[in-house]
Amino acid sequence: MNLDNLARIDLNLLVILQILIEEQSVTRAANRLHLSQSSLSKSLNRLREALGDPLFIRTAHGLKPTAHTLYLTDKLPPLLQQIYQLTQPPQFTPDNSERHFSFAMVESAYDTLIPYFIGPLLNKAPKLKLDSYIWTEKSMQAIQQGQIDFGISGRDLHPKSNLRIQQLPEGIAHQTLFTDHQICLARQDHPILDTVKLGQWDLECYLNMQHVQVRCEGNNWWMLDYHLADLGLRRKLSTTVSDFYGAASVCAHSDLIFTLPSSFACHAKKLYPLVELPLPVSFPSMAYVLLWHTSNSEEPGHLWVKETICRSVSQIFKLNESANLS
């Protein structure tokens, strides 16, 4: 590393470059940075000189990034996040901290997990600000780029899944919170329940049923569907919805059945007259995992939040296991 050359670069220019990448407009970037357009244009010229590249090409629709800028797009956010962490105090005191943490969580985690850790977090750190967002196909990238602090998502344990823990993107660390399995729900007076009572609920019956499915990260198929496809089989997905409660409602008011993680079934059954059925095919479990960027692994605030979440969830599940055994 040539520190003499690095000393000649104004690190503020990297922040300006990131804002320009995000806005792709000198006007919008200047407004966001509370600068005049003239000042921002001068900074852009300094960036071009320092990096030896035009960086952006002006078009009728704004600034178009060059190939070099596109290359920097993935590398700049984690770098700025690390620089930001260097400016933060190396300690975290929960009872007086006013830090802001953000979460992206799969919908089912709002009922199955967040009630167990939101209290312990705010009881020990009452001044924290916690923002949560629904998990989408863009959430993992948001964690990589430092826009989201933590994610809670489901990851498959199926060896052929693209959503396995072993295939997490570069820079993403994880901790498994608990594992779960898939079950089925049907309305309380569903005709299939007579078949179940006769002990004839099997894979053939399951595949002959009409199904409601929750869209997963923008996909209509879950890993279960790919697993069945490998066996030359396919479910009849009659309806696809965006959330679990919507699917539970469809299930309760139709003859469609709903396949879902067992941990969410108890919440659905509190709202609707639904009956739980076993999934009549051998299929690996899934894991709910806490995700964060490796650059935050030892940062005191992030470390405290992570440990509090993991400890709180672990204690609740141990209590539930003890209650089930007794």
- Count of residues making up the chain: 326
* DSSP 8-state symbol, 168: P
pLDDT of residue 124 exceeding 90: yes
| pLDDT for residue 326 | 46
Of the candidate ranges 84-88, 91-95, 160-164, 201-205, the one whose mean pLDDT is the lowest: 160-164
pLDDT of residue 264 exceeding 60: yes
- The C-alpha atoms of residue 302 and residue 150 are separated, in whole angstroms, by 9
Q: 48 phi and psi, to 5 degrees?
A: -60, -40
Q: 88 phi and psi, to 5 degrees?
A: -90, 150
Do residues 224 and 163 lie in contact, with contact meaning Cβ atoms separated by under 8 Å? Answer: no
- The C-alpha atoms of residue 175 and residue 287 are separated, in whole angstroms, by 10
What are the contacts of 54-61 at 24+ separation with CB within 8 A? 55/17, 55/20, 56/20, 56/24
**Residue 306, C-beta contacts closer than 8 angstroms, at least 6 positions apart:** 150, 175, 290, 292
**Residue 145, C-beta contacts closer than 8 angstroms, at least 6 positions apart:** 77, 78, 81
What is the pLDDT averaged over residues 104-117? 89
pLDDT of residue 319 exceeding 70: no
pLDDT of residue 309 exceeding 70: yes
3-86 maps to CATH 1.20.810.10: no
pLDDT of residue 161 exceeding 70: no
pLDDT of residue 23 exceeding 50: yes
94-180+287-325 maps to CATH 3.40.190.170: no
Element (H, E) at 311: helix 300-325
Q: Tell me, which fold does domain 182-284 have in CATH? A: D-Maltodextrin-Binding Protein; domain 2 (3.40.190)
For 34-49, how does the pLDDT look when each residue is reduced to its tens digit (9 = 90+)?
999 999 999 999 999 9
Domain with CATH 3.40.190.10 in the chain: 94-180+287-325, 182-284
For 62-105, how does the pLDDT look when each residue is reduced to its tens digit (9 = 90+)?
899 999 999 999 899 888 888 887 776 667 899 999 999 999 99
- Nearest Cα neighbor of 126 from 150, 148, 100, 97 is 97
| pLDDT for residue 325 | 45
Best-predicted range by mean pLDDT among 140-144, 217-221, 253-257?
A: 253-257
Do residues 180 and 317 lie in contact, with contact meaning Cβ atoms separated by under 8 Å? Answer: no
Share of the chain above pLDDT 90, in %: 67
Domain with CATH 1.10.10.10 in the chain: 3-86
Task: List, in sequence order, every residue forming a beta bridge with 260; answer none if it has no partner.
Answer: 183
| pLDDT for residue 169 | 86
pLDDT of residue 164 exceeding 90: no
Position with higher pLDDT, 305 vs 107: 305
**Number of other CB atoms surrounding residue 258 within 10 Å:** 27
The amino acid sitting at 239 is: T
pLDDT of residue 2 exceeding 70: no
